[in-house]
């Protein structure tokens, strides 16, 4: 088996080397022809920069960055603690489907300066939270389908990148036009691999006991949250609820989940296995990892290959009349106007910006 793979690996490496040579040649040409593509002199130009600049040039965008005035802000799609997300159109681009963006407005000067921002395309289906609230609860197949897609996402984050997501909840799950899920808002995500961290973060109803105890937590917190989410899909509300957050924490630490009498046996079993108070006993974190989750009887009938390649149709297909449709998103009040909005001064930046340096 290994001998069969070696030629493929060698061929892939040769292709990668050839592509790198092409990029490096473009890099050299761009350096000797400064009028071809403008670039700030603050750091060296890389091959990736050249490719990105060409894409911007083809789209009619300036290579030296965009300003808020380059967008038409149409509607607020969501709000969070630190930011507001707008549905926006780029004024300079007139091609259908290429001028639509979900634009997050926040002040993160260091992130922008380092050019380490990745963007998610606009998802017109809105939040799975909205569909769950309207339906009150999902049927078993819908719950199983979307739990399976989330399992693939968590498995990918853990197995390929060692990333703990740490904020799994219906509000952070969007639907695309075909009814497939996309996980958003990686503000609490952290690369851990086998390490532990001690930051208290997340949403109360979905926190794992070890996060509340502040005893150190790792990747296992996402499997706990998946169990909570499956329960919420089927029942219509999380298993641990109280009007007081401290009451929620006490119930989570106790770890006693009450199941409705009509809860399917396989669903009850996977929720119980995912929501083990001791993370070393938790399904997904025990030997076998995410594969053990996929092999659970709850997912009987799921073709994982079809699911991964999106050949399986989503059980909820949002109504989307056009690419710029925002009807599936909740209505949010407009933000304060310039006259009432506080000004973020340079003095404030010097004092507070360091707080966000690790976000």
Q: Looking at the annotation, which residues are catalytic?
A: 167
Is 104 within any annotated ligand binding site?
yes
Distance (Å, whole) CA 323 – CA 335: 25
Distance (Å, whole) CA 312 – CA 305: 9
- CA-nearest of 212, 49, 187 to 115 is 49
Query: Own/partner pairs for 76-80, CB < 8 Å, 24+ apart?
Result: 76/332, 76/333, 76/334, 76/335, 77/102, 77/326, 77/329, 77/332, 78/127, 78/171, 78/329, 78/330, 78/332, 79/332, 80/185, 80/187
Q: Which residues of 101-126 are buried (b: 16+ CB within 10 A; e: fewer)?
A: bbbbeeebeeeeeeeeeeeeebbbbb
**Placement of tokens 């799950």 in the chain:** 173
Residues annotated within a binding site: 104
Residues annotated within a binding site for ATP: 104
């Amino acid at each position: 088996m290994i001998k069969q793979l070696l030629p493929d690996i060698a061929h892939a490496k040769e292709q990668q080397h050839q592509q790198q040579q092409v990029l490096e040649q473009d890099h050299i040409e761009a350096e000797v022809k400064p009028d071809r593509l403008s670039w700030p002199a603050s750091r060296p130009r890389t091959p990736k920069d050249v490719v990105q600049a060409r894409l911007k040039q083809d789209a009619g965008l300036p290579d030296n960055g965009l300003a808020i005035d380059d967008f038409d802000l149409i509607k607020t799609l969501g709000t969070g603690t630190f930011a507001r997300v707008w549905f926006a159109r780029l004024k300079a681009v007139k091609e259908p489907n290429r001028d639509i963006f979900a634009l997050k407005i926040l002040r993160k000067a260091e992130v922008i300066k380092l050019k380490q921002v990745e963007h998610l395309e606009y998802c017109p289906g809105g939040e799975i939270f909205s569909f769950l609230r309207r339906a009150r609860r999902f049927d078993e197949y819908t719950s199983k389908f979307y739990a399976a897609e989330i399992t693939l996402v968590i498995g990918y984050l853990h197995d390929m990148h060692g990333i703990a997501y740490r904020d799994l909840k219906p509000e952070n799950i969007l639907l695309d036009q075909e009814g497939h899920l996309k996980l958003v808002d990686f503000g609490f995500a952290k690369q851990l691999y086998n390490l532990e961290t001690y930051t208290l973060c997340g949403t109360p109803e979905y926190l794992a006991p070890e996060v509340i105890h502040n005893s150190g937590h790792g990747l296992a917190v996402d499997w706990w949250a998946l169990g909570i989410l499956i329960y919420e899909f089927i029942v219509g509300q999380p298993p641990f609820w109280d009007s007081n957050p401290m009451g929620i924490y006490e119930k989570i630490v106790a770890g006693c989940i009450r199941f409705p009498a009509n809860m399917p046996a396989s669903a009850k079993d996977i929720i119980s296995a995912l929501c083990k108070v001791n993370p070393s006993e938790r399904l997904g974190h025990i030997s076998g990892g995410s594969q053990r989750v996929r092999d659970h009887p709850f997912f009987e009938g799921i073709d994982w290959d079809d699911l991964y390649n999106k050949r399986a149709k989503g059980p909820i297909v949002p109504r989307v009349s056009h690419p710029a449709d925002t009807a599936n998103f909740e209505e949010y009040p407009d933000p304060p106007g310039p006259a009432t909005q506080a000004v973020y001064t340079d003095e404030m930046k010097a004092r507070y910006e360091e707080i966000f340096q690790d976000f």
